[in-house]
Each structure stands twice: as structure tokens, then as C-alpha cells.
Amino acid sequence: MITRILVALDASPRAPDVFSAANEIATRFDARMILFRAIDVPPEFPPAAHVAGGDPLPAYLARRAREDLEALAAGNQRADVEHPVVVVGQPWRAIVATADRLDVDLIVLGSHGYHAIDRLLGTTAGKVANMAHRNVLIVHPRLR
């Protein structure tokens, strides 16, 4: 039985399609969607050591991620808009860990391009599919 779905959404233009696919499943199973985004501060952005109170970039990115998730799901009864989950860390690891911590029944995320570096290191979707301890649905772009 599917009752809780972790919907892993990035900031790409395809996020609404991933959300839509998750919403269709949530509707059919009368399930709740937990919106999720992993943010990863690129290493080329050095921490703001000179700022009292630490680097403001992670907090800013987390706030923007929550706002984006809330806007995407506004008015949707199945999405937990009030409590989107935003985690700083490597996306695939954060998705798998959050799915375990929240004990969800299904992870929904989008696929992305498979470029040369992905063949070497693997994609986020591929890593989640191989490392998750629960079912994973990977939403691919539709050919129009």
C-alpha cells in the first residue's frame, strides 16, 4: 500500500512534470506527498568566513527551495505544503536518507540527461534507484 510519497524535486524546468506524476499516483492511492529538495553548495563557493554568524548562502538556498516547493504545490490537497523537506547535502544521499528517516513507501524523482560525466559517476536518479531501500519511480521526459 502506498500512503506516503517522497517527491524529490530540483529547480529544473521539469520539476512540474515530476510533481504531476507524483500527484497522479497520490490521487489514485489516496496518499500524502512529502515535497523534498536537496541543495548542494558548490565547492567553488568558499564559505563566508569573514561574516559573523557563518555563511549565509546555505540558509538563503534553503529558504528559496522551500518557497519554490510551496509555490509548485500551492492549492494541492495531497502535498504537505507547510512542511517541505530541504536538506543540504549530496542529492542522492539526502534523498535515500530522508526516505528512510520518514519511512515513505515510494520515492518519485526525475531523470536527467546522461552525459559523459554521468556515465562515469552515475546520475542522481540511478544512484537513488540502486541504493534506496524502497520503491523508486523515475519520471522521464515525454517526447512531444
Residue 62 covered by a domain:
yes
**Quick check: is 144 in a domain?**
no
In a domain, 55, yes or no: yes
Q: For residue 93, is it within any domain?
A: yes
Give residue 18's identity as a one-letter amino acid code. Answer: V
Query: CATH number, domain at 120?
Result: 3.40.50.620
Q: For every one of its 144 residues, what pLDDT tens digit does the chain have, with 9 covering 90 and above?
A: 999 999 999 998 889 999 999 999 999 999 999 999 999 877 776 666 555 667 788 889 999 999 999 999 999 999 988 889 999 999 999 999 999 999 999 999 998 755 444 444 468 999 999 999 999 999 988 766
For residue 97, is it within any domain?
yes
Q: Please check whether residue 25 lies inside any domain of the structure.
A: yes
Find all residues with CB under 8 Å of 142, minimum gap 6, and list them.
Answer: 17
How many domains does the structure of the chain reveal? 1
Alpha helices in the chain (DSSP H): 15-29, 57-72, 91-102, 116-121, 124-131
Q: Which domain holds residue 117?
A: 4-139
> Does residue 10 lie in a domain region?
yes
How much is the pTM?
Answer: 0.86
